[in-house]
């Protein structure tokens, strides 16, 4: 690469020479950089920072949409958090959903990736099959599963052929939550599988061969060689799966509408109910802040814990 004398002097700390007209090369470089990041900065400002600020603003007000009134209520909406008897079951349902989803999704994705980490044409077909739900419309996917999970739907018809009287999946608390989790796992497991597959293919063969020569069995090979080497990918999938699990909405809205009872009313669905169904935009904003803080804390905790178990980050 050819380096111009002006740029070289700027990098070495010398006095930058000004071009005869317009900006110096250093200023020009800086401006180019700002122009490159400008779309992202503007996007984040308009669609993340400003809405975040507005959420805090709304949380201090009560907004009656139909009457067209917008009243400052101070911390009233935050105080409601402590008297809302529905919030504890909602947080519990959210925790059950997130835990179930993360454990099932990561385990299944890793298992599939290990099974499909072979050079064969058949493996390519299987990878495509497992990845294809990721690109299917979420709502369409959920509606189809909604039909399959009806009491007289396809799943129970299949179970009946082997003599099993299936439960009414979406109408009983425990099975409803399990159904929502499994539908979401099948939808997105392909994405984590591909990430794990890419990580597994990056594990050097010579390390595995050396371990085998040293007498390592399959279990030791996996726990002592493979897992440490793909630990950055495991961290990444954990973070994106947990964050995604806390934002689940469409599956609940389509499959159960939060029922039976409130057994599948997760935090985002509850937020939607409060703000958009019941017209409590102030309290809905407070719940959005709670969700933001939960996601933030979990992400920071995972990021800090990585020092204990994530290797080879660079």
Partner 1 sequence: MRSAKSLSAVGLLAAAAVVLTGCTAPEVEKPAAKDVELRMTVWTSNEDHLALFDSIADEYMADHPEVISVTFDPLPFEDYTTTLTTQVGGGQAPDLAWILENAAPDFVASGALAPIQQTLEGTEGYDFSDLNESATALWKSDDQLVAYPFSTSPFVVFANDDLLAAAGQPSAAELLADGKWNWEDISEVGSAVNAATGKAGFVIRDFDYTTWDNLASIWMGWGAAPWSADGAKCTFNSDDMADAFEFIHDAAFEQKSMPGPGTTADFFAGEAAFTVTQISRASLLAEGGFGWDLLPLPEGPVGEYSMVGQAGIGVLAQGEHSDVAADFLAYFTNPENSQKLAQYFPPARNSQLNAETLAAANPVLSADQIADVVVPGISTGVVRPSHTNSAEIGQQVRSALDAMWVADADIPAVLDSVCDAVEPLLGN
Q: Which residues bind partner 1 (CB under 8 A)?
A: 34, 37-38, 41-42, 44-46, 49-50, 53, 63-68, 149-153, 168-172, 257-262, 273, 276-279, 281
- Closer by beta carbon to partner 1, 167 or else 190: 167
- Do residues 276 and 258 make contact, with C-beta atoms less than 8 angstroms apart? no
CA gap 224, 311 in Å, rounded: 12
* H helices present in the chain, as ranges: 5-11, 25-44, 50-59, 76-83, 87-116, 121-135, 138-148, 154-160, 173-201, 205-213, 218-220, 227-246, 250-255, 267-272, 281-309
CA gap 84, 209 in Å, rounded: 59
- Closer by beta carbon to partner 1, 245 or else 265: 265
How far apart are CB 217 and partner 1 at their closest, in Å? 48
How far apart are CB 93 and partner 1 at their closest, in Å? 12
How far apart are CB 11 and partner 1 at their closest, in Å? 15
How far apart are CB 153 and partner 1 at their closest, in Å? 8
Per-residue exposure over 111-141, b if at least 16 CB sit within 10 Å of its own CB, e if not: ebbeebbeeeeeeeeebeebbebbeeebeeb
- Closer by beta carbon to partner 1, 35 or else 122: 35
How far apart are CB 57 and partner 1 at their closest, in Å? 10
- Closer by beta carbon to partner 1, 52 or else 75: 52
- Closer by beta carbon to partner 1, 244 or else 259: 259
* Torsion over CA: 18, 20, 23, 26 (sign): negative
Residues 6 or more apart whose CB falls under 8 angstroms from that of 9 comprise: 15, 16, 17
- Closer by beta carbon to partner 1, 37 or else 293: 37
How far apart are CB 171 and partner 1 at their closest, in Å? 5
CA gap 308, 304 in Å, rounded: 8
């Amino acid at each position: 690469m050819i380096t111009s004398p002006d740029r070289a002097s700027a990098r070495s700390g010398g006095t930058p020479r000004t071009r005869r007209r317009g900006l110096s090369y250093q200023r020009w470089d800086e401006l180019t950089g700002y122009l490159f990041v400008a779309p992202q900065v503007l996007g984040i400002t308009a669609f993340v920072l400003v809405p975040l600020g507005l959420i805090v603003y709304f949380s201090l007000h009560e907004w009656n949409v139909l009457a067209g009134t917008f009243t400052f209520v101070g911390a009233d909406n935050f105080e409601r958090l402590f008297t809302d008897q529905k919030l504890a079951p909602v947080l519990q349902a959210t925790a059950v959903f997130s835990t179930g989803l993360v454990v099932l999704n990561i385990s299944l994705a890793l298992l599939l990736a290990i099974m499909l980490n072979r050079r064969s044409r058949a493996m390519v077909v299987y990878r495509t099959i497992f990845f294809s739900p990721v690109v299917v419309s979420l709502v369409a996917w959920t509606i189809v599963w909604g039909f399959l999970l009806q009491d007289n739907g396809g799943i129970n018809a299949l179970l009946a052929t082997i003599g099993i009287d299936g439960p009414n999946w979406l109408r009983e608390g425990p099975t409803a939550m399990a159904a929502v989790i499994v539908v979401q796992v099948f939808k997105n497991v392909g994405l984590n599988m591909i990430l794990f597959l890419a990580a597994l293919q990056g594990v050097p063969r010579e390390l595995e061969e050396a371990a085998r020569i040293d007498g390592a069995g399959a279990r030791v090979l996996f726990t002592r060689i493979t897992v440490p080497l793909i630990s950055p990918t495991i961290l990444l999938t954990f973070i994106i799966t947990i964050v995604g699990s806390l934002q689940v909405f469409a599956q609940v809205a389509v499959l159960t509408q939060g029922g039976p009872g409130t057994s599948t009313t997760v935090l985002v669905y509850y937020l939607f109910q409060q703000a958009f169904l019941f017209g409590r935009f102030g309290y809905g904003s407070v719940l959005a802040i709670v969700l933001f803080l939960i996601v933030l804390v979990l992400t920071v905790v995972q990021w800090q814990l990585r020092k204990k178990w994530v290797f080879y980050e660079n």
